[in-house]
């Protein structure tokens, strides 16, 4: 609530755009919908961003699909994320700048959303010229994820047996 700027003197008739904008600047917030329920209630529907990988700076830091560094302490919050096998580049503020790393993170975000079981098997994601190589823990192997192709048809299996 502190991040919104909403105070005890705020009204349900106030302009919500400043509250929404303030929340969208928070690194753990992906989207916000603000509505009113008359006569006295303002409702905030907050969608949190999801970490999709660890990037090395040299310490491991969780990042989301947009390349934003997330203020999550992995010693306090257990995270099982693949390692981003790309130089993340120097962050501009709290966002990565390396184009290959950003493409890889966007692909990981798609996998996490569309194929969560596959995402749970990932141990590393590396950018390739043709797409992203996703290294799997079990069964051991790698998948080549092609850019802008629907999942799972965009997957080419490299390993001793298929992941199904």
Residue 36 resides in a domain? no
Asked if pLDDT for residue 161 goes beyond 70, the answer is no
Is 106 a member of any domain? yes
pLDDT at position 150 is 66
In-domain check, residue 142: yes
Question: Considering its fold, how many domains does the chain have in total?
Answer: 1
pLDDT digits (tens, 9 = 90+) for 103-148: 999 999 999 998 999 999 999 999 998 899 999 997 888 988 887 6
Residue 84 lies in a domain: yes
pTM for this predicted structure: 0.73
Quote the CA–CA distance of 69 and 49 in Å, as a whole number.
Answer: 11
Least confident of 1-10, 30-39, 73-82, 115-124: 1-10
Give the contacts of 146 (CB within 8 A, at least 6 positions apart).
Answer: 130, 131, 154, 156
Residue 55 belongs to a domain: no
In a domain, 51, yes or no: no
């Amino acid at each position: 609530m502190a991040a919104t700027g909403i105070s005890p003197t705020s009204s349900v008739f106030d302009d919500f755009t400043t509250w929404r904008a303030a929340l969208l600047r928070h690194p753990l917030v992906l989207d916000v919908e603000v509505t009113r329920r008359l006569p006295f209630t303002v409702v905030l529907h907050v969608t949190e961003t999801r970490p999709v990988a660890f990037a090395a700076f040299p310490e491991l830091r969780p990042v989301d699909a947009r390349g934003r560094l997330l203020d999550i302490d992995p010693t306090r919050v257990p995270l099982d994320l693949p390692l981003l096998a790309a130089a993340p580049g120097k962050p501009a503020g709290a966002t990565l700048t390396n184009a290959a790393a950003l493409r890889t993170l966007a692909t990981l975000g798609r996998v996490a959303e569309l194929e969560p079981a596959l995402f749970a098997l990932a141990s590393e994601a590396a950018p390739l010229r043709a797409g992203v190589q996703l290294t799997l823990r079990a069964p051991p192997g790698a998948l080549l994820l092609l850019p802008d192709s629907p999942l799972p048809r965009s997957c080419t299996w490299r390993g001793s047996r298929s992941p199904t």
